Amino acid sequence: MADNYGFPSSSAPAPTFAGAVAQQERISAFLARVYGWMFVGLAVTAVVALLVAASPLLVRTLVTNRIIFFALLFGQLGLVWGLSAKVDTLAPRTAASLFALYSGLNGVTLSIILLAYTGASVASAFITTSAMFGALAVYGTVTKRSLAGVGQFVMMGLIGLIVASLVGLFWHNNALQFVISVVGVIVFTGLTMWDAQRLKGMALQVEGNQAASYAVCGALALYLDFVNLFLMLLRFMGRGRD
């Protein structure tokens, strides 16, 4: 039998001591790849965001030309879908290139959002997000409790959040934005724990070049959790520029 992730169920024979050590080494190596790529993605995003924010011409172009802005958004969605849906067939180098491209494009769009807040607000939200994300990821990795139920719940919440966010693009209502922020923090808190647990299980299911590609895809999942949690917290903690 298999659980919701397709991993061996608890009824499988327990591994020997040597087997358990080998499994732990395999998990550690895979997660090191995942978090390594995640940090690379965040670094690329930060550098690109700073470069764009420092260019008045680029900022003015993005703010005044909504076609370019929305083209960037849809381009990012396409990259996320392509990397997630084709991970089985993508070469590791291709997967890494797509992830780096996505991280860069995300930096372009985030630069506009970050310019709306003071530097102190951005720094405070980033530190808070880092602390929360670290604690949630560790819990998701070390807990023996299955988080499959949490995953199903937050995925439904994510669908509702996407719908509400689309409505919010056209209906600027403070109460709606507040609800979106609250739900967003809850959803991405749960997703961080769930993704961390899924990736631990994934480490034992993939190998070779496939493992390298899946590590990049796993980094993308955690990257999205981190960035979205950061944006939701920034809504609460952020102070707008005068």
- pLDDT (tens digit, 9 = 90+) per residue, 213-227? 999 999 999 999 999
Is there a domain that residue 3 lies in? no
Question: What is the model's pLDDT at position 86?
Answer: 86
Q: Note down the domain range covering 140.
A: 17-237
Is there a domain that residue 191 lies in? yes
| Cβ–Cβ under 8 Å, residues 114 and 122 | yes
52: Cβ contacts below 8 Å, ≥ 6 apart = 58, 59, 62, 107, 108, 111
Predicted model pTM: 0.86
Q: How many CA atoms lie within 13 A of 21 on its CB side?
A: 3
Question: What is the model's pLDDT at position 1?
Answer: 33
Closest of 112, 116, 106, 107 to residue 63, by C-alpha: 112
Is there a domain that residue 8 lies in? no
Is there a domain that residue 164 lies in? yes
For the record, the structure tokens of 17 come out as 């001591």
In total, how many domains does the chain have? 1
For the record, the structure tokens of 106 come out as 């995300």
- pLDDT (tens digit, 9 = 90+) per residue, 149-188? 888 889 988 898 888 888 877 777 778 888 888 889 999 9
Is there a domain that residue 149 lies in? yes
Is there a domain that residue 86 lies in? yes
- pLDDT (tens digit, 9 = 90+) per residue, 132-151? 999 999 999 999 898 988 88
Q: Tokens 């084709």 — which residue?
A: 86
Question: What is the model's pLDDT at position 19?
Answer: 63
